[in-house]
Amino acid sequence: MASERRQYVRFAFYRLDPAWRRLSAADRDSGRQELGNIMERWADRILLRTYSTIGTRGDCDFLVWQVSTELDDFQAMASDIASSEMGAYLDTPYSYLSMTKHSTYVKDHVHPDQEGTRLVIAPGDCKYLFVYPFVKTRAWYTLPFAERQRMMNKHISSGHKYPSVKINTTYSFGLDDQEFVLAFETDEPADFLDLVQELRDTEASSYTLRDTPIFTCVVSPIREILESLKHEARQEALR
C-alpha cells in the first residue's frame, strides 16, 4: 500500500573457520585480496558498511551492513562471497533481514540527528554500531493505540537525553524471525550503555519479549578487517 520507495536492509555477521589460518600464506593473501575486491565492487552498487566484531563477540568476526532497494542484491552478493576462495571458510552465524518504513510512534518526535527519515538509511561517521533483533510481546499489540503511544512518548523522550546516540530502526514483520532490527550509532559506548539501562525502567520495556543477541561492532574497512585476521602479522607480533 505504501507509495514511497523503501529500502531492504541486511545485517550479515560472518565467522572465519580456523582452518583458513592453516592455509599457505599465498593462499590466504589471495583469498583476502579476492574478498576485498568483491566487497568494494558491491559498495559501488549498494550502501555497504563493514564492522569488526573481533574482541567484542566470540561467535563472529565481522558484520556487513547492506542496504538496497532491490532484495535480489543480497542474494547476488551472498553468492559472490560464498563462491570466493575465502567464502569456503566463512559462515554466517547470524543474519537479519528487514525493511525501512515510517514509525508509528515518532511522527511528532523525530530528531533528525537521532531518528532520521526512517525510509532512508543514512549512516553517520560514528565509530561504534550496536545491533540487535527485537520482538515485542503479543500483549503489546492488543493495547489501544493511545495507550501504546503514551508509553512510547516516555520511551522516546528517554532516548533524546542521549543525543550522541543515533537509532536506525528497521522492520522485519513477515520477512524474518524478529519484528525489528535496531542499530545504534555512537562514538560513546558509555552513553549507549546508560541509555539502554534507563530504557529498562520504562513501562514500554515490560512488553519486550526478546532483544538479544546484542552485537558491539567497530567500523572498519573490509581490507583492514581481513588484515587483522592475518596469521603472519600475529606471528610477527609474538617475536
The per-residue pLDDT for range 34-91, each reduced to its tens digit, is: 999 999 999 999 999 999 999 999 999 999 999 999 999 999 999 999 999 999 999 9
pLDDT band per the 50, 70, 90 thresholds, residue 123: very high
Cell 528517554, located at residue: 158
Q: Please determine, for residue 1, whether its predicted confidence score (pLDDT) is greater than 80.
A: no
Task: Find out whether 168 and 121 touch, Cβ atoms under 8 Å.
Answer: yes
Q: Please determine, for residue 165, whether its predicted confidence score (pLDDT) is greater than 70.
A: yes
User: What pLDDT was estimated at residue 26?
Assistant: 95
Task: Find out whether 198 and 158 touch, Cβ atoms under 8 Å.
Answer: yes
Span 121-135, mean pLDDT?
96
Q: Please determine, for residue 108, whether its predicted confidence score (pLDDT) is greater than 70.
A: no
Residue ranges of the chain that CATH labels 3.30.70.1030:
8-98+219-238, 104-216
User: What pLDDT was estimated at residue 231?
Assistant: 56
Span 24-29, mean pLDDT?
95
- Alpha helix positions (H), the chain: 25-43, 72-82, 138-142, 145-159, 189-199, 222-228, 231-238
Span 126-154, mean pLDDT?
96
According to CATH, the topology of domain 8-98+219-238 is: Alpha-Beta Plaits (3.30.70)
Q: Please determine, for residue 232, whether its predicted confidence score (pLDDT) is greater than 60.
A: no
User: What pLDDT was estimated at residue 105?
Assistant: 84
Q: Please determine, for residue 114, whether its predicted confidence score (pLDDT) is greater than 70.
A: no
**What's the pTM?**
0.90
pLDDT band per the 50, 70, 90 thresholds, residue 235: very low
Task: Find out whether 229 and 16 touch, Cβ atoms under 8 Å.
Answer: yes
Whole-angstrom Cα distance, residue 66 to residue 73? 9
Q: Please determine, for residue 11, whether its predicted confidence score (pLDDT) is greater than 70.
A: yes
- For 178-216, write each residue's pLDDT tens digit: 999 999 999 999 999 999 999 999 999 999 999 999 999
User: What pLDDT was estimated at residue 155?
Assistant: 87
Q: Which CATH superfamily is domain 104-216 in?
A: Apc35880; domain 1 (3.30.70.1030)
Whole-angstrom Cα distance, residue 32 to residue 135? 36
User: What pLDDT was estimated at residue 148?
Assistant: 95
Whole-angstrom Cα distance, residue 144 to residue 149? 9
User: What pLDDT was estimated at residue 150?
Assistant: 94
